[in-house]
Chains A and B, each alone.
Chain A
Amino acid sequence: MTTRFAMAVDTVRCVGCNACVIACKTENAVPEGGFRDWIAQEVHGAFPDLSMQIRSERCNHCAAPSCVDACPTGASHVAQGGVVAVARNKCTGCKACIAACPYGARYVHPEGYVDKCTFCLHRVTQGRAPACVETCPTRSLTFGDLADPDSPVSRLLRSRRFTVLREESGNRPQVFFLA
């Protein structure tokens, strides 16, 4: 089976502390003002009958990535393990991919190219966890290979209820939110 990298985000455990965000920023030398991951808080109800979901979000590394389709230069591409990546040398900064992404996962790097989460491909290809996963104090983030039924991420998705974001986009996101 071909490797299919994916992430499960446990919204029950996550406290939205932003450790994932800061760890990503230093690991990937993300410039000021740019984010490859972020925290979303969604509140429902009225005082005092409330509920809230906290999510650590990032590029969904979609199986049908509209950003790749939209890229005129081939810079946005599907890399190893299904990871959606941007080749800096091919990117002209035209922002077509930014318009096409349903998740707002991309930003323009000050050096002119579009940048985004890579699932820390430089680490995972060496068998290490992405930086956000490694640091998460609540262990809310589980990364692994969906093609491997024994991977922690596969097992979690079998045992827990989950949702994806904007399923209707047809992008087939590969980041799953455990409820």
Chain B
Amino acid sequence: MALTRRQFIQIGGAAVGGGVVASGLASRWWGLDRNRVEDPGTDGDRVVASYCELCFWGCGVLAHVKDGRVTKVTGNPDHPLSKGRLCPRGAGATGLLYDPDRLKRPLVRTQKRGADVFEEVSWDAALNKVGEGLLELKRRHGPEALALFSHGSGGTWFKHFMKAWGSPNVGAPSYAQCRGPREAGYLLTYGTPLGSPEPIDLAHARVITLIGSHLGENMHNTQVQDLADAIGSGAQLVVVDPRFSVAASKARYWLPIRPGTDIALLLAWMNVLVEEKRCDAEYLAQHANGLEELKAHVAGKTPEWAAAITGVKAELIRDSARFIAAARPASLIHPGRHTTWYGDDTQRARAMAILAALLGSWGRRGGYLTFNKMGLPPYKVGKEMPHGGKGAADKPRNGGYPVAGEVIASGLCDAATPGHALYDLKGWMVYGCNLIQALPSRKQTIEAIQNLDLLVSIDVLPAEICGWSDVVLPECSYLEREDDVLAPPWREPFLALRQEAVPPLHESKPGWWIAKELAGRVGLGDYFPWKDAREYVDARLTLGRHDVAEARRRGVVLGKVGPVCEEEGLAIELGTDSKKIELHSEELKRLGFDPIPNYVPQEEGPAGHFRLLMGRAPTHTFGRTVNNRLLAEPYPENEVWVNAEAAKALPGFPGPLRNGERVWLVNQDGARSGPVRAKVTQRIRDDCVFLVHGWGQGAKRLRYAHGKGASDAELVTRYKVDPIMGGTGMSVNFVRLEPVGRTA
């Protein structure tokens, strides 16, 4: 007799119900009348500690494995980043692991690039093809002609490959398309970039100021935990955002700013602080250079001046400035992420950094901290790495970006166009970066790709970039592999282990194996002497004198907590040449830029157009998770936010736009995206619209996400390059709405 699952549960339940016979409840046959406590039975018979890869924050997880299947992933209570809790993406890891659309076998392109027609081949055939391609590339163009785009922990193996191969061209969109301007701004002001996770003290801040940073929607687990704790203990928020974000809904002050005018607001806030003597004078006298120049610079930049520019009432600017100042030094200006908006972004980050200095919050509790890193000796390879003779090819031939601290991904893209950079790139390896969606101007990216001799992508899912590749190598998900130890600086320094919970599904392989196999095929095997990642990690842990078994059991090794701010006994130290906070930047002056940020008006869009703003949803990491059926349940597709008043009379619409109605988005250059549902809402200004990034996937192999929602990337046909650090400002595009069904 074939049992359905339901019958099976009933019989199984009755069997364990034997103990209640005496209660009389089981008097009916088989105990079917008894009300049992249903146990879904998802606790693992084996629990594997690891760290998450659904975003790149790196939270500690516990993977529950039952009958060889991961049933659920929960937070590791021992891990300082998760503290036992996970965000939705982390909890949705099984949706990635068991995604039916995963890359299953290596693919080799059989038709022209972009046709997305591939043949499934053996690993041996795929790796041989890549190996031969790489050797040919090296023979004809030298090792530097190869670039690696890498995002994610498995990328360390390919970065190692690049060092052994001899190319410095290793970049990720996470710099020049995300946090780069911020890193440059803080580097210029304090002599050190912030990095990730940011060393900020949200938990102890009394006032937290978010400028275009929608923390809570942008879900960095530990920061959201700290933010909630701060709110719970009475901290107040000041939120600057054209949108009534989740954070804005919790704020004491919401400043619904006109997009592109943030620097004016920041200068006006500084004006209030300086004019009303609300700065930390003692702190500034001791630690800062250029206060007099700054005072002169902001002298006329009153709230009234800024009100006309920003659309925020002068009174609101003044009141919020006083409120921010009253909490100093535990008044935290959150440095933000995804800071590439208008091409003047380093200057905006500078303005934020300067404001933080006026509040005296650098090096202070509730402000910016100095975290420590737990060191771990490297694996001894025993052979000197060639690295790469030439400098990175990420700069245009006619100049560069003087304050760029990392390689510029968009620069590596441009360098594939002949004659653009110092030398041409001829091959790309792409690890976990969907460049088509991540870089601005899809058209430019595709043109660059057409110039390549070799494009290899390594990914878990068939992202759009895979469709443009020559060879696609399927990596297994993070739950199926070992990776290098993660050791970011943190208040409580730690080492975190990535461990295999279940063996790789299909024919996917871990990154370490792919990199080692490739190295063997191009004569670099000596640089990969380890048997596997596990041996590699164990060797490092042993060299660091850690208990390997204990580390593997807990998934984390905790280090000593040292002082992280002045209040804890750590003197304020600055990394600038002058050892002072550079309110007025001599460096920028020398380079020919404004030494103190200036407000420069942004170009406005054509009539009837809205500025396109992009952001995040807590359930999704860029476009990486949109195919995850589990995560898509509460958030199945993005929607375009349109101001309710503006929606009443949109050009080209016969009547008011209804909430939920599908519309096309067409940008100033005619690029079209959608159709996408409209979210008609009071929660946004009437001069801009908002999309969550990552939707509108063009990759057909992402069967769930394909065509759902609108791709903001498709509408970013224009961008403005930050001349200081090369970041690509992408909020410079404008869209109009078109009713679906009446397209030209």
Contacts and interface: CB of A to CB of B under 8 A. Distances in A.
A77 B32 CA distance: 15
Given A32-B629, A32-B633, A112-B6, A47 B643 contact: yes
4 pairs of A and B residues whose beta carbons are closest in the complex? A15-B216, A138-B228, A26-B72, A52-B249
9 contacts: A15-B216, A15-B247, A15-B618, A17-B224, A22-B88, A22-B92, A27-B40, A47-B684, A137-B225
A26 B73 contact: yes
B33 interface: yes
Name which of A23, A26, A134 has the most chain B CB atoms within 10 A of its CB: A26
B275 interface: no
Contacts of B250: 12
Given A23-B91, A137-B87, A52 B231 contact: no
B682 A77 contact: no
Contacts of B476: none
Interface stretch (A1-9, A81-89, A99-107, A146-154): A81-89
A15 B228 contact: yes
A90 B25 CA distance: 14
Contacts of B685: 47
A66 interface: no
A47 B682 contact: yes
A18 B42 contact: no
Given A17-B216, A50-B244, A26 B42 contact: yes
B246 A26 contact: no
A132 B90 CA distance: 13
A39 B256 CA distance: 25
Given A26-B71, A47-B256, A47-B683, A90 B33 contact: yes
Name which of B247, B633, B635 has the most chain A CB atoms within 10 A of its CB: B633
Contact of A122 (B38, B75, B219): B38
Nearest to B217: A15
B237 to A, nearest CB: 11
Interface string A23-46: 101111100110100110001011
Name which of A17, A77, A111 has the most chain B CB atoms within 10 A of its CB: A17
Interface residues of A, number: 53
A17 B217 CA distance: 7
A38 B33 CA distance: 31
Contact of A26 (B13, B85, B630, B682): B630
A121 interface: yes
B634 A19 contact: no
A135 B681 contact: no
A43 B682 CA distance: 8
B86 interface: yes
A51 interface: yes
B35 A13 contact: no
A85 B583 CA distance: 63
B711 to A, nearest CB: 22
Interface in B197-239: 216-217, 219, 221, 224-225, 227-229, 231-232
B37 A79 contact: yes
